[in-house]
Amino acid sequence: MLDTLISSTAILGLAEIAMNIVGNQVPVWIGWVLLAIAGVLGAFKLIRYRGKSLIPAIGIIMSTVALIGFTVWYIRDTQSAKTAEKAPSPAATSIRPEVSQAQFTKLTELSRFIGKDENELRQEFDFMTILQKNIAVNSIRIRLRSEGKLKDFKWNNYTEGDGSWIFAAMPGKYRVTPSGVQVDDGPQDVCYLVTTAKYQSAQRNIGNFINSPLIPESIKTVAKDYKQTVDKNFEQMAYTLDKFMKQGDDFFLKSQDYGGQYYGVIQSDYFSHFVQLKLKADAVVQEIAKYLRTN
């Protein structure tokens, strides 16, 4: 009789657990409790009657399984509940209904373009390459100047891509005339920076985002602030090169002499004045997220 009770209880417990696994709404803890009861009854008979039947031993095994299974289920269920508590509500993460698919795509592209770490943002606009390139180009200017051939130097012979360069408005080095801006730069002035195709592409991208009718004005404002920071860093590059051009030719001609007193001096000075890009970039990403939220 007791063997039958033990067997029945164990079978019911297993059945309850199986029903829960396949999706039935029966509480799973009922199955674990039934297995535990089977184990207790099995242990009781084994101790009290010392019978030779295997049923009590099976009951004890079921009880052990129930203890382990219930522990695992409890931990998993508790963790799931905590995860659910931490997850934002659908309302908090839903997209504003008036945002079109085209606008959402454009905002996502901007977020990906600008949502990078500091080093990646600098690489996007090719800062280090342009600095090295302009040190090399100004070294050519210096050599031509020393040979009396400076008139043969042309900035557009050293730029890439669309042939554009950066003009830095040095105080006292330019004037506005009816025909446009007149630059009065001397042989030891650096008012221009030659650029790279990578820089030109990045500038086109940020310009397209700022001019896009799909980008809200609130996001354009912070995007313009980011672009202004990029531009100011390039302006600072020209100021740095101009400063060292006036301090001596060797800062350029010997800038790559490893271990020498001029090695890396221009680079170190420039990046000591560099304005971090990530803070401005993060402001754009945050403004995008703010705009897309419904509340």
Instruction: Check whether residue 185 and residue 278 sit in a common domain.
Output: yes
Instruction: Answer yes or no: do 8 and 72 share one domain.
Output: yes
Domain count, the chain: 2
For residue 115, what pLDDT is reported? Answer: 94
User: Which of 54, 87, 120 is the last residue in one of the domains?
Assistant: 87
Residue 219 or 96, more confident? 219
| Higher local confidence (pLDDT), 122 or 20 | 122
Determine, yes or no, domain membership for 94. no
- pLDDT digits 0-9 by tens, 125-144: 999 999 999 999 999 999 99
- Asked if the structure places residue 281 within a domain, the reply is yes
For 33-99, the DSSP string reads HHHHHHHHHHHHHHHHH--S-SHHHHHHHHHHHHHHHHHHHHHHHHHHHHHHHHSPPHHHHPBPTT-
Asked whether residue 42 is assigned to any structural domain, the reply reads: yes
95 found inside a domain = no
Kindly state whether residues 154 and 124 are assigned to the same domain: yes
- For 235, the domain range is 101-292
- The secondary element (H helix, E strand) that includes residue 224 is helix 217-247
| pLDDT higher than threshold 60 for residue 89 | no
Provide the pLDDT for residue 109. 96
Q: What is the pTM of this model?
A: 0.65
